[in-house]
Amino acid sequence: MAEPDRLPPPPFWRTRYYALTVMARSDRRMIDPIMVTSVINAPARKEREPSGRVRYWGWIAELNHWLRVVTLDDGVTVHNAMLDRDFLP
């Protein structure tokens, strides 16, 4: 599978899908790049998907929710970010 297009920082490495599709959704506009970075840098939990992508979860007090961030298999390039209403630490 071809790697999705990557866009360089700032704010961080991200896929074109993340930049143009994910963050354009009305239910994701409150997710700030600082929140994404903080979850990747200090996750409450981290796991690798069978595809190789990496999931990170972190508590965001400002939103009173867990934030799940999904990176490509490099663990750096952000591909998705969403509030995870079902996560249990």
- Considering the entire predicted model, what is its pTM? 0.92
Digit-coded pLDDT (tens) for 13-66: 999 999 999 999 999 999 999 999 999 999 999 999 999 999 999 999 999 999
Helix H or strand E encompassing 89: none
Instruction: Show the tokens assigned to 11.
Output: 């704010």
Specify the pLDDT at position 49. Answer: 97
Total count of residues recorded for the chain: 89
The domains of the chain are located at 6-83
Q: Which amino acid is it at 54?
A: V
Kindly give, in sequence order, each residue whose CB lies less than 8 Å from that of residue 22, ignoring residues fewer than 6 positions away: 28, 80, 81, 82
pLDDT of 72 > 80? The answer is yes
Specify the pLDDT at position 74. Answer: 96
